[in-house]
Amino acid sequence: MVTSPVCCQDDGGRACCSLGEDSISHLSSTSRISRSPVRPMGFRTMQTRVALLDGSLFTCLMEKRSRGLVLFDKVCEHLNLLERDYFALSFKDTDNNKNWLDPAKEMKKQVRGVPYNFSFNVKFYPPDPAHLSEDISRYFLCLQLRQDIVSGRLPCSFVTQTILGSFTVQSELGDYDPDESSDVSELSFAPNQTKEMEEKIIELHKTYRGMSPAEAEMNFLENVKKLSMYGVDLHHAKDSEGVAIMLGVVSSGLLVYRDRLRINRFSWSKISKISYKRNNFYIKVRPEQFEHFDSIIGFKLANHRAAKRLWKVSGGGASGR
């Protein structure tokens, strides 16, 4: 219905007209709508891909404003994973650096300039894997550690690689079968895998008859947890004298390495505060016996982002230790 103009005369006898209130309200509302168009769903959602530890891919459509926890919960539900505290989602930024997705923050504020591609990983390595109550949790931990060994992130000797490899074969292939011995070469055990290593693995595998996959995985974990670099998250840094070092974050504290040798250790109970400023990372250490003041030790990282990443994984962020 169109409202007719309302006409009258002013005090001087001149005609004046105006539109009725309904028409004015309608025009104002139309104006507001045209200025604030509703964005299509595609602007607010993103196809998300998560690489799982078994090599498979989980995909789903996510709202960009969703918190990281929403996606993490979807992945855990897909995997039927109950012991979730040890795991997290990671992604690569524009500089190809690994970052952990913060469960408390919106995804769009963390993932910028790169596709929504994530990896499901172990973030906190349990000091004693036997304390994990679920077989599926131990299985995912085994898969992560196998990746760590093959990539070289977790160095170990030839003997250890063959022992761990033999438990991997038992878990994946079951009891030794001469007709399936060639399948061993299709599995990865080490960065520089050799025929000699595979033959040693087969010899050990023959002795495991009757061992279940769960038992093989537990034996794998019992051996791998003894490695000096087990569960160490390494970060390149320099000390106060400019000497190149590596800082290792573990469940028990902060480790300092030089030329692959551990030269210092600071337990979390001894560290009263961690902080960063620009590309510097600082720890405040409580005084030892007969000392009266805290000491502050600084390390120089490659840049501000590297210092912030170290601060977060050390417990400075909401998703830290």
- Residues 91-106 have pLDDT tens digits of 998 888 899 999 999 9
What DSSP assignment string belongs to 234-258?
EEEEE-TT--EEEEEE-SSEEEEEE
pLDDT of residue 317: 58
The percent of residues in the chain predicted with pLDDT above 70, rounded, is: 85
Q: Note whether residue 132 is domain-resident.
A: no
Domain hosting residue 58, numbered range: 43-122
Asked if residues 224 and 164 have their Cβ atoms less than 8 Å apart, the reply is yes
Between CA 121 and CA 229 the distance in angstroms is 17
Between CA 187 and CA 169 the distance in angstroms is 8
Token digits for 58?
A: 């989980």
Domain C-terminal end among 122, 145, 177: 122
Tell me the mean pLDDT in the region 291-318: 87
User: Within this chain, do residues 111 and 170 fall inside the same structural domain, yes or no?
Assistant: no
Q: What is the pLDDT of residues 236-268, one digit of tens each?
A: 999 989 999 999 999 889 999 998 899 999 999
CA 229 to chain centroid: 19
Q: Please, what's the b/e burial string for 64-78 (b: 16 or more CB within 10 A of its CB; e: otherwise)?
A: eebbbbebbebbeee
Q: Compute the residue count for the chain.
A: 321
The percent of residues in the chain predicted with pLDDT above 90, rounded, is: 69
Q: Note whether residue 142 is domain-resident.
A: no
pLDDT of residue 294: 83
Q: Note whether residue 145 is domain-resident.
A: no
- Which CATH number covers residue 284? 2.30.29.30
Q: Note whether residue 306 is domain-resident.
A: yes
Residue 36 predicted with pLDDT over 90? no
Domain C-terminal end among 192, 224, 256: 224
Between CA 246 and CA 242 the distance in angstroms is 12
pLDDT of residue 95: 86
Residue 25 predicted with pLDDT over 70? no
Domain tally for the chain? 4
